[in-house]
Amino acid sequence: MTHSTILGFPRIGKSRELKAAQENYWKGKISEAELLKVSSGLRALHWKQQQQAGIMAIPSNDFSLYDQMLDMSALLGVIPARYHWNGGNVDLATYFAMARGAQKDGVDVPAAEMTKWFDTNYHYIVPEFAENQTFKVSSTKPVDEFNEAKALGIVTRPVLIGPVTYLHLGKRLGGGAPIELLDKILPVYAEILRQLEKAGAAWVQLDEPVLVLDLNDATRAAYATAYAYLRKATKLKIFMTTPFGRLGDNLDVAMKLPIDALHIDLVRGAGQLDDVLAKFPSSMIVALGVVDGRNIWRNNLEESLQLLERAMKAIGRERVWVSSSCSLLHVPYDLDQETALDPELKMWLAFAQQKLEEISTLAKGLDEGRKAIADALALSSKAAESRRNARRIHDPAVQERLKKQPLEGAGRPTQFAARLKKQKARFQLPSYPTTTIGSFPQTKDVRKNRADFKKGRISAESYDAFVKEQTKAVITLQEEIGLDVLVHGEFERNDMVEFFGEQLAGFAFTQNGWVQSYGSRAVKPPIIFGDVRRPKPMTIDLTQYAQSLTKKPVKGMLTGPVTILQWSFVRDDQPRSVTTHQIALALQDEVLDLEKVGIRIIQIDEPAFREGLPLRRADWREYLTWAAQAFRLSYTGVQDDTQIHTHMCYAEFNDIIAAIRDLDADVISIETSRSQMELLQAFTHFKYPNDIGPGVYDIHSPRVPSLAEMVDLLEKAGTRVEPRQIWVNPDCGLKTRDWPETNAALRAMVKAAKVMRAKYKESA
């Protein structure tokens, strides 16, 4: 019988039960035991759902209280000294201190560095290896969760991040490549595998997505070393996964490993099946990831079945498994919850629960033939035909506009130095100007009023009055704190992408389509199903109102075209560059309208710009070209003395620094506090010419940094870029923070800017 399997399942629960439990635990409203009870209940439910859907090989240890890479660090004893770990099993206090920082009962420690997981919007906690790093088994989590499932009558396949991927994605203090620690870490991996074997596991899943990246010879050699060692250390059958792309020049490396099954991504790595089959060893099982774990479109069962049948004919049915392309962590939970979606559109979609059924259906088709799944095939074909011919997808006016305003030539002809003179004359800002990234705390009252308005419990007039009241209060507060460039606070916005998508044609929205971004943070990505345009202005009235309350400049706040693309579920029937081009033109209309009503500082956020970079370097130039062009297109036509800002999240900027210059934003703000300004090195080496706002405190943590810390970070920034270039701002928006910590942190930030102004004046 053909095996059906997935690589992982969403953790947050059907109604985000995990989020509620996490946040209540952090607030002291529930105990550790209560948090763990919610967690075990979710795991049990998810295993049973997979079993009932017909999934034969069910994973365990894919659940996490925050992040699977952080789980591996806890499992392997990779705990930086600043967290004062006692050396035993890693407790929740230490675990969450690494994730979020801690500031309580005399403990004051920042969170560990966080960055994006490959090209997804999921964030992971970066492993930090000391110069004299040692490893030891410091958690029982994989065994505990295997035993939980076993008690329910379900023998699962435990999941671990593979040793090469874990090391490759970490940082080693004091120099040296993390992969050099392989010999030290392998005995600990072996011990973990033996513990799982003793508990009764037959298989282990080792996730090695690094194999779809460009690798050097040392990393390729590390795979041979690692898996030869593990093969000798355990009798467990090893299932290695390679999600997110093509194996390409690493195919031979994977084929030669002493493993029992190899996962191949045939969605993001489309077109690699023939190469795989041509070299596939007779001793190995192939798990074909034909059901998309990254997007929400219904699977074309006919096309997937053809791929599976081709593999079956080449190597035999018993050696072919049906799988998801990656973990289903990246898609929403269950489409059946979406009672308000248009029926035709809903027919085109599949969430995690439906993807389980698609995988099981395909496995049944391989085993019993097409007649056994005839109804499912017919429904799949009907959905594909409906989507292909739907009138709602295509807008002739949008297509015509694309022809008239191509991406080439987008932007402003005037160089930054000339624009800067005009902007300085207009705004008269001090050195080290202070601002925030955009959003302010979204309290219960803010969320309740928005929910009441959406559900018709309050009128539009009442809701608008409430939002204006909040806006007025935050303008007053910013003036009192002493910020130089203000924002309106974004109290009317649910999410930085969803807010704009709701007002653009070509988008659809879910009620419960939540996807984990990091920790308890979940987002509800819009669905881009058709051509995009702006039917009417989106932000003008409220931004203009905020500006009327103050003589200081108020920023217009927009989300950029690449980020709207990246943080949505995107149509797959045309190139992503075309969809981004459409979004950019819609934003251009908004930018020019903001300028017309007197908003002369406009921030177009692109936190996902680096996230969109293809995993293989050979594909970078094409992406970076059209992505930068789309950003410039979004502000094409503005005057030289209108100042364009942008914001970017945690990223390795070395890879994209030339493209950041090509965005030609007057000011870029970036997240740098967790890396202690280390991320600014790319801007230093490149001699980045425009202004830059390196974040001086981490908004992903409730911790309030001291004035001295912020001054120290600004001094470090001043050694990497010119002081005249520096703006002072938090790492990111303040939406998720509470008011007391926000107030305290911003006041310290403004004081830090004043300290630096005095120092800069002396040195100048």
Tell me the three state secondary structure of residue 219.
helix
Q: How many CB atoms lie within 10 A of CB 415?
A: 11
Cβ-based neighbour number of residue 740 at 10 Å = 11
Q: What pLDDT does 731 receive?
A: 84
Question: What is the model's pLDDT at position 763?
Answer: 59
Please give the Cα distance from 101 to 700 (Å, whole number): 9
Which amino acid is it at 351?
Answer: F
- Give the pLDDT confidence of 305-327 residue by residue, as tens digits: 999 999 999 999 899 999 999 99
**Would you state the pLDDT for residue 677?**
67
Q: Using CA atoms, how far apart are residues 752 and 711, in angstroms rounded to an integer?
A: 5
Q: What is the pLDDT of residue 698?
A: 80
In this structure, what token pair is assigned to residue 691? Answer: 């202004």
Instruction: Give me 24's structure tokens.
Output: 């209540």
Cβ atoms within 10 A of the Cβ of 120, count? Answer: 19
**What pTM did the predictor assign?**
0.91
User: DSSP letters along 296-311, please?
Assistant: -BPP-HHHHHHHHHHH
Per-residue DSSP letter, 677: T
Closest CA to 37 of 66, 3, 65, 2: 65
Q: Is 700 a catalytic residue?
A: yes
Q: Which residues of the chain have pLDDT under 70?
A: 650-652, 673-679, 762-764
- The pLDDT, as a whole number, for residue 678 is 67
Indicate the domain borders of the chain: 416-441+481-763
Please give the pLDDT value at position 652.
Answer: 66
Radius of gyration of the chain (CA): 26
Q: In the beta sheet, which residues pair with residue 124?
A: 115
**Of residues 123, 330, 488, 700, which has the active-site annotation?**
700
| DSSP-derived 3-state class of residue 27 | coil
Taking each helix axis as running N to C, give the angle between helix 576-596 and helix 540-548, from 0 to 180 degrees, rounded to the nearest 10.
40
Q: How many Å apart are CA 647 and CA 692, to the nearest integer?
A: 10
Token representation of residue 70: 């952080």
Q: Which CATH architecture has domain 416-441+481-763?
A: Alpha-Beta Barrel (3.20)
So what's the pLDDT on residue 671? 76
Q: Which segments of 126-265 are extended strands (E)?
A: 128-129, 157-161, 171-172, 203-207, 237-241, 261-265
In degrees to the nearest 10, what's the CA dihedral of 732, 734, 735, 739?
A: 170
Q: Would you put residue 144 in left (φ > 0), alpha (ψ -120 to 50) or beta? A: alpha
For the sheet containing 601-605, what is the strand order? 556-559, 601-605, 643-648, 667-670, 691-694
Strand partners of residue 159: 205
Q: What pLDDT was estimated at residue 175? A: 80
Give me the chain's average pLDDT, please. 94
Q: Partners of 527 in the beta sheet?
A: 508, 569
CA distances for 130 relative to 78, 105, 404, angstroms: 9, 27, 56
Q: What is the pLDDT of residue 68?
A: 97
Eight-class DSSP state of 558: E
The CA distance from 174 to 749, in Å, is 30
Q: Give the span between the Cα atoms of 479 and 496, in whole angstroms.
A: 24
